[in-house]
Amino acid sequence: MPAGAKFGLLGPNGAGKTTFVKLLLSAVHPTAGSARLFGKDASLPESRRPVGYLPENHRFPTYLTGAGMLDFYGALSGLSSQERRRQIPGLLELVGLASWGPVRIKKYSKGMLQRLGLAQALIHQPKLLILDEPTDGVDPAGRREIRDILDRLTGNGVTVFINSHLLSEVESFCDHVAIMRKGQLVLEGKISNLLAGSGYTVSASGVSDSALNDIRRTGAAIQPTPQGVSIQSPNRDHANLVIDKIRAAGGFIDGLKPSGSSLEDLFLKATASDETLIERAA
């Protein structure tokens, strides 16, 4: 994964997503093969130093306050007490819990716990953030806040790895995706390329009939719309050719968007196949 990527891991129940994450974090041991983090054997504690993790169904110690919890996990992450004291107020501020630091965790709502969990994952300024269902139980406004925080982090070079069953969440936030099925990687690539691989829709107006016939001969599907026409191109090169022809004929391009499959279509296709097909879209 390139630094700063927003990577989503998808798969049906039982595909092995959580096991994969636990392998990376050495919570489970591989029966065969090995896992590496930043070039280091993942079973070594040191390899986990640049990693922040928010597990699914976490159980934070309810006897701690929010600030106390950050202090505890900060210490386990190798931070000195001075570093922890410096980091904690800013982190609580970042996740919108500035006034909740001295309050015991048992008084926190589910959404607040998720945000606090995110803060504990960030306390040692990790290079890689692994989040298991990060917006589980969070209301829409809270989801938006979490996405905004993650966007800021990726802007600063932090790589975010999200394990989620929410396709819409992955589609709206991630730029890379991988789909697992029965413990195998079946699809992986940049979301924009994977979806673009299914074709483009070019919306145009003011295009002459002769130009439309010319375009039709290239294999494009043309559909009249109230504003003009909607042209389906099977790939990016073809879409460029269509645009060139429309402009050469004096027509206007009203819109261009990837068409065909949604992430849901891709997911269903990838997880239904019996073959293990790794499609890498650069």
Partner 1 sequence: MTDHQKTSSSNVILSLVADTFQEARARWLFWGLFALSSLLVLIFLFVLQVDLAAGAISFLGVGSTSRRIFSIQKFVNVSYSWVSIVLYVWGTFLAIFASAGLIPAVLEAGRIALLLSKPIGRTTLLLGRYLGNLLVVALNHIYLVGAVWLILAIKTNIWNYRFLLAIPVSIFIFAVLLCVVVFVGVITESAALSVMAPVGLGLISVLLAQYQVVIKLLDSEWSRRLWMILYWIVPKVFDLGSALRESILLDKQVDWATPVWTSSAFGIAVLVSALHIFRKRDF
Binding mask 115-134 for partner 1 (x = CB under 8 A): -----x---------x----
Tell me the sheet residues that pair with 255. 203
**Binding-site member from 1, 3, 14, 27 for partner 1 (CB under 8 A):** 27
Pairing relationship of beta strands 176-181 and 184-190 according to DSSP bridges: antiparallel
Residue 46 lies near partner 1 (rule: CB under 8 A): yes
Write the burial class of residue 19 (CB in 10 Å: 0-12 exposed, 13-18 middle, 19+ buried): middle
**Segment near partner 1 (CB under 8 A); pick from 18-26, 88-96, 238-246, 270-278:** 18-26
Residue 55 lies near partner 1 (rule: CB under 8 A): yes
Residue 213 lies near partner 1 (rule: CB under 8 A): no
Residue number with CB closer to partner 1 (70 or 146): 70
Walk across the sheet containing 6-10 and list its strands.
51-54, 128-132, 159-163, 6-10, 176-181, 184-190, 279-281
Residue 45 lies near partner 1 (rule: CB under 8 A): yes
Number of residues that bind partner 1 (CB under 8 A): 34
**Binding-site member from 58, 127, 165, 236 for partner 1 (CB under 8 A):** 58
Residue 167 lies near partner 1 (rule: CB under 8 A): no
Q: How far apart, in whole angstroms, are the C-alpha atoms of residue 155 and residue 158?
A: 7
User: Is the Cβ–Cβ distance between 102 and 71 less than 8 Å?
Assistant: no
Residue 78 lies near partner 1 (rule: CB under 8 A): yes
Report DSSP state, residue 65: B
Residue number with CB closer to partner 1 (11 or 55): 55
